């Protein structure tokens, strides 16, 4: 399976390449994504955000009414994943809609902890002053 993953990573479709350019390196709301990720030594997810257990698939025509995809989706859903499928031509032609759909899915999953790309923790001094103001 790892050989297949390596091959898929080194030869992405145009849609996969475009989608990865949107998701990689925390570019989408600071979220961390993996591409061509093996799950349970059984299936390969095109793109996976473990934090929200969200899988994004870039599909070509071979995926229409595919019984293998239905079986795979049933298994992954039972493992707690949510799967979004986008047709390759939609990925290439409608990046804004794609991003909106992914973020809507994250919001609908109850994602209250989307990563802030530049989190700034309070200093000890700041925390103490804040807590003192409410306690006194």
Query: Could you give all domains of the chain from N- to C-terminal order, each with its CATH number?
Result: 2-135 (3.40.960.10)
Strand order across the beta sheet in which 54-59 lies: 34-39, 43-49, 54-59, 82-87
**Could you give the CA distance from residue 97 to residue 131 in angstroms, rounded to a whole number?**
43
pTM: 0.75
| Among 136, 116, 119, CA closest to 128 | 136
The tens digit of pLDDT for each residue in 62-78 reads 545 678 888 999 999 99
- pLDDT below 70 — which residues of the chain? 61-65, 111-136
Angstrom distance (rounded) from CA 13 to CA 80: 27
Confidence (pLDDT) at 9: 81
Q: Which pLDDT score, from 0 to 100, does residue 115 have?
A: 44
* 32-52 tens-digit pLDDT: 999 999 999 999 999 999 999
81 closest CA partner among 134, 31, 45, 131:
45
């Amino acid at each position: 399976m790892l050989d297949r993953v390596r091959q898929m990573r080194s030869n992405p479709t145009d849609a996969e390449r475009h989608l990865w350019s949107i998701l990689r390196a925390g570019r989408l709301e600071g979220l961390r994504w993996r591409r061509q990720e093996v799950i349970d030594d059984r299936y390969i997810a095109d793109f996976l955000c473990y934090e929200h257990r969200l899988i994004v698939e870039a599909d070509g025509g071979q995926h229409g009414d595919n019984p293998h995809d239905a079986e795979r989706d049933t298994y992954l859903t039972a493992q707690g994943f949510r799967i979004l499928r986008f047709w390759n031509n939609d990925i290439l032609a409608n990046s804004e809609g794609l991003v909106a759909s992914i973020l809507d899915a994250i919001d609908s999953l109850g994602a209250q902890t989307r990563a802030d790309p530049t989190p700034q923790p309070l200093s000890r001094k700041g925390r103490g002053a804040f807590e003192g103001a409410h306690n006194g």
